[in-house]
Structure 1
């Protein structure tokens, strides 16, 4: 399957997140605004699975990693609230069609451990998807 179509379906859905802050996309110039939260997006690919002896049934898999980046020093309540909004927006079973297939969220997205990073608090949200 065309990875660009999969990425586009996932990213277009993220753009519909109500009240979303700015988004830092992969390989697109982004300068954070001091004091304002943003989302950082990374597409993490996994090895495809060939499901038939004839190798004509392929399952693409990956993780849409959406990291909430929040100004440090205010505690993590607001940052966690934003992370939870992302989780709710990409609920288990969500199916995102694209030309030639669909990406489906096959596990409940999870919120990782917050960690500090040079004036920011980062909270990774992992959204696991498959095309099977």
Structure 2
């Protein structure tokens, strides 16, 4: 249940960035619109930390990666500007809550190296998060 809430907290925050762009969420049908950018978020959980035996507490950790997909011919600057909006929202120390689960951002979001991907310019943004449960 906590993974569902973690994903919801992060995806809700991402959806609030203005101006909005289309989003290709995992395991949902999506057809990109020709000439329009979109973002594809992925929740990449890591191994949980367990501090003690018996009390059931743990720390969930992982990466929330957003692959920005931009049409060719726009140059890297437009995608980079969007990546910086994401980086500003998911800044180190930010927190996002869904119900009783609060996800905290551990580090400044990483803007990766852009590259061609299926006829589009893809720029990954990696956000390292943790959640104490």
> When the two structures are superposed, what TM-score results if normalisation uses the length of structure 1?
0.93
1:53-76 CA-partner distances (Å, limit 9, x unpaired): 435320001111111100122210
Q: Does the aligned pair in 1 maintain the 2:41–2:64 contact within 8 Å? A: yes
Residue of structure 1 equivalent to 2:39: 39
Deviation at 1:126?
Answer: 0.4
CA RMSD, Structure 1 to Structure 2 (Å): 1.3
Q: Does the aligned pair in 1 maintain the 2:5–2:101 contact within 8 Å? A: no
Q: Does the aligned pair in 1 maintain the 2:61–2:131 contact within 8 Å? A: yes
SS of corresponding position for 1:49: coil
- 5+ unaligned residues in a row in structure 1: which ranges? none
Residue of structure 2 equivalent to 1:19: 19
Alignment of 1:84-103 (within 5 A): 84-103=84-103
1:130 and 2:130 are equivalent in the alignment:
yes
Residue of structure 1 equivalent to 2:117: 117
Poorly superposed stretches of 4+, deviation over 3 Å: none
Whole-angstrom CA distance in 1 between matches of 2:20 and 2:98: 23
- 5+ unaligned residues in a row in structure 2: which ranges? none
1:42-101 CA-partner distances (Å, limit 9, x unpaired): 110101010124353200011111111001222101111111111111111111123333
